[in-house]
Amino acid sequence: MKYRIVVNPTAGNGAGESAIPTIEKQLRALQLNFDLVRTERRSHAIELAQQAAADGADVVVAVGGDGTANEVLNGLMAVRVANSGRVPALGILSVGRGNDFAFGMGIPHGLEAGCQTLAQANRRAIDVGHVVGGDFPEGRYFG
């Protein structure tokens, strides 16, 4: 299984960047096949998730808060809507200030527990909605 880790380095007032060494250490210890990329601007995680799908990732992991998770979800949904191949699963490692989505999905808090959950490959279907208007006239997905 191939993982693409998408880190928002500014999440949680810099907690995203600070978490990278721990994430890399944990994922190596669990012998996961992964690569890691950093977002550089708003909406960049959308592009990175789409690229991860094109590169054959099985799981795209959002490392950040609710905003990062939402951007990765929107990138994966763009792949699905375009019917441009297999859509990777969404994973989340919470390091942001607000992690309401992860909490609601029962994703464990803490990097060690989160990495362990990724290694166990527990998957489940979620509902995804789509809203149009406001700042996103083209629409935006949400889980």
| pLDDT (tens digit per residue) in 99-114 | 899 988 888 888 999 9
**pLDDT band with cut points at 50, 70 and 90 for residue 134:** confident
Q: What angle do CA 40, 121, 130 make, to 5 degrees?
A: 55
Residue 43's pLDDT is 95
| pLDDT (tens digit per residue) in 31-80 | 999 999 999 999 999 999 999 999 999 999 999 999 999 999 999 999 99
Q: Are strands 33-38 and 89-94 parallel, antiparallel or unpaired?
A: unpaired
The tokens for 22 are 């721990």
pTM: 0.94
